[in-house]
Amino acid sequence: MDNYIVSARKYRPMTFNSVVGQRSLTTTLKNAIASGKLAHAYLFCGPRGVGKTTCARIFAKTINCLSPTPEGEACNQCESCVAFNEQRSFNIHELDAASNNSVDDIRSLIEQVRIPPQIGKYKVYIIDEVHMLSQAAFNAFLKTLEEPPHHAIFILATTEKHKILPTILSRCQIYDFSRITIKDTVEHLQYVADQENVKTEPEALNVLAQKADGGMRDALSIFDQVVSFTGGNVTYKAVIENLNVLDYEYYFRLTDSILANNVVEGLLILNEILSKGFDGNNVVTGIASHFRDLLLCKDIKTAELFEVGASIRERYIETAKKCSNEFLYKAIELVNESDLNYRYSRNKRLLSDLTIIRLCQLSSPQAGSEDQKKKQVIEPIFSQQGQSAQPVNRAATTQPTQQPQAQQRATPVAPPKEHTPTPSHTAGSSKPMPKAGGLGISISAFGQKKEEESVKSEMTIEVLNERFTPLQLINEWKAYADDLTEEHHLKNTMLNCLPDLIENTVFEVVVNNPVQEQRLIEHRMDILSKLRVQLRNTHLKMEIRISENNEKKLAFTSAEKFNLMMEENESLRRLKDEFGLELS
């Protein structure tokens, strides 16, 4: 146990060819060494654990190798290479800028730069986490970095390039290291497992690679942890149990319940996931990623972008065949909206449940056929009743004075209290109510003649035309405004701008500015629907205009302001005349 070395150190690359996932950068460095075109300063930047310091060490060893191979690699046999491998080389100096970030540390480094190498051609100075240097240390380092001795080469490494001074960046060749792909990470983990005689499953290694998020050092550290947990048999179930990763199986079960519009089953699965300690936001984002992966698997070309094991990819492809593109688009949009709202929600569990419920309500391929979609359309009453409704309307409109007889010819009229709008058309809603042609709606039957006749027989058509006073109109107007709880601007507008009855069924509202006008226009149908019911007059109309006095209050020019001041102040006029002043 005393000689145990973690995999991240034991399998650290020793040559350019063994570096994983940075092929373009290593090729560039090898070509520079082969051609002898070496810069005096390099900057290696990128995420953690992708090989920045490793490449710096390999580069330093290779340029000092006394007999490099034809491929441009170090021989690992000459005196310089042996001294480097045994960590006793005097040509390579590493400085941790996180703990040595003062001016004195940089000055000490500058003093060492003057000494030429005893073995090899170059002295290489690797400064790790260089962004941690202080401002004064950067300034002290500038001159040496720009014009170092011919035997000195600086390699700066950092994870936060944006924190480095532009004057430093301009003196370096910059190499941006990218995150290591899941495919490359899985291949390297499989190589390490073979060397350590560890049994693995492809799906397990894939989960490890996704958990590492592009860092090979993190992947190897997690690999060691899982090997210790499983005793040398790394399986998919063991990995998700040890790393507390949500199993793919839950997402597939959720998808099946959503496609079947089974809300109960979906909520039970969500509760099972939350009971295992997973956060609701993780579940929401996981579902979004799951639907995104299903969308990728809809086409063979884009399925290659989905980096998972072959068995899981096949299952995703099979599940994607059950989902329509329209369903996936709506589902991704819905879950993304829930993800954005999750942070600000006070009842996060309710938001998670509501997300599942809304997903289950989406039209699935099994229950969303064109015929059923047509059956769910709600059409106006006149599209079903045809001309049978027209005589009633004419009778009611042509004989306004004979109100009792018009109401007797119509179907039974409910009391006024029963003619309030439905919950979906409350005062704060922005959805329009039915137009002033009748308060009833018809729902199309489901294809059976008997049901259609029974539905038509129960339909009521009511056209009201009762007289009302201007005071009644104002009282109902104020009552509507008082009921508003969320639309504060609309409420203040209605309380400050009262209606004026200009005809029997037409009233006018004079507002003070275009903003108030636009607010009333947006809620015109909601307001009219409420007033028509309360005043029992379906012909009620509203006109909106801006006050003429406010329309004339335009911005004054400088000359107009001065003339207005002279009209109000005679002394100002005399002053202008006596001194012959003119406004510039």
pLDDT at 505: 85
Which of 176, 200, 219 is the endpoint of a domain? Answer: 176
Return d(Cα 208, Cα 215) in angstroms, integer. 11
Residue with tokens 């170092």: 148
pLDDT digit string, tens, across residues 255-289: 998 988 888 998 999 998 888 888 888 888 889 98
pLDDT digit string, tens, across residues 377-398: 444 444 444 444 344 443 333 3
**170 and 211 assigned to the same domain:** no
**150 and 89 assigned to the same domain:** yes
pLDDT at 281: 86
Average pLDDT score, the chain: 78
Q: Within a domain: residue 466?
A: no
Task: State yes or no: pLDDT of 416 exceeds 70.
Answer: no
Instruction: Name the strands in the sheet holding 92-96, side by side, starting at the edge strand that comes first in the sequence.
Output: 92-96, 123-128, 152-158, 41-45, 173-176
Q: What angle do CA 131, 136, 140 make, to 5 degrees?
A: 95
Return d(Cα 296, Cα 320) in angstroms, integer. 9
Residues 419 and 533 sit within 8 Å (Cβ to Cβ): yes
**285 and 400 assigned to the same domain:** no
On the 0-12 / 13-18 / 19+ scale of CB atoms within 10 A, 125 is buried
**18 and 156 assigned to the same domain:** yes
Q: On the CB side of 324, how many CA atoms lie within 13 Å of its CA?
A: 12
pLDDT digit string, tens, across residues 40-64: 999 999 988 898 999 999 999 998 8
**216 and 262 assigned to the same domain:** no
**47 and 28 assigned to the same domain:** yes
**258 and 207 assigned to the same domain:** no
pLDDT at 2: 58
**51 and 166 assigned to the same domain:** yes
Pick from 95, 111, 105, 113: which is nearest to 149 by CA? 113
Round the CA-based radius of gyration of the chain to a whole number and report it. 39
Instruction: Name the strands in the sheet holding 499-501, side by side, starting at the edge strand that comes first in the sequence.
Output: 499-501, 506-511, 541-546
pLDDT digit string, tens, across residues 310-348: 677 788 888 888 888 888 899 999 999 999 988 888 888
Task: State yes or no: pLDDT of 155 exceeds 90.
Answer: yes
**186 and 310 assigned to the same domain:** no
Least confident of 205-214, 232-241, 451-460: 451-460
Question: Coil, strand or helix: which one is 158?
Answer: strand
Residues contacting 305, CB < 8 A, separation 6+: 296
**16 and 151 assigned to the same domain:** yes
**171 and 228 assigned to the same domain:** no
Q: To the nearest 10°, the Cα dihedral for 316, 319, 320, 323? A: -150
Tokens of 405: 């007889």
Residues contacting 179, CB < 8 A, separation 6+: 21, 46, 47, 50, 213, 214, 215
Q: How far is CA 16 from the centre of its chain?
A: 39
Q: Within a domain: residue 133?
A: yes
pLDDT at 3: 75
Return d(Cα 170, Cα 266) in angstroms, integer. 57
Distances (CA, A) of 62 to 27, 47, 52, 72, 505: 13, 24, 15, 8, 94
Beta strands in 427-534 (DSSP E): 442-443, 499-501, 506-511
Q: Within a domain: residue 171?
A: yes
Which of 149, 176, 203 is the endpoint of a domain? Answer: 176
- The CATH number of whichever domain residue 294 belongs to comes to 1.20.272.10
Return d(Cα 23, Cα 217) in angstroms, integer. 17
Q: Within a domain: residue 523?
A: no
Q: Within a domain: residue 522?
A: no
Return d(Cα 63, Cα 517) in angstroms, integer. 77
Return d(Cα 482, Cα 132) in angstroms, integer. 61
pLDDT at 156: 92
More confident: 431 or 88 = 88
When divided into structural domains, the chain yields a total of 4
Identity of the residue numbered 23: R
Q: Within a domain: residue 117?
A: yes
Residues 318 and 232 sit within 8 Å (Cβ to Cβ): no
Residues contacting 243, CB < 8 A, separation 6+: 207, 208, 211, 222, 226
The separation between the first and the last C-alpha atoms of the chain, rounded to the nearest angstrom, is: 92
* Averaged pLDDT for residues 81-98: 86
**119 and 265 assigned to the same domain:** no
Beta strands in 177-283 (DSSP E): 199-200, 233-234
Q: Within a domain: residue 237?
A: yes
pLDDT at 174: 92
Angle 348-360/325-342 helices, nearest 10 degrees?
A: 170
DSSP lists the bridge partners of residue 233 as: 199
- Residue 293 sits in which domain range? 248-368
Tokens of 460: 């009521």
pLDDT at 374: 44
Answer yes or no: pTM beyond 0.75: no
Beta strands in 382-529 (DSSP E): 442-443, 499-501, 506-511
Which of 400, 433, 458 is the endpoint of a domain? Answer: 458
Residue with tokens 């406004």: 583
Residues 154 and 125 sit within 8 Å (Cβ to Cβ): yes
pLDDT at 557: 67
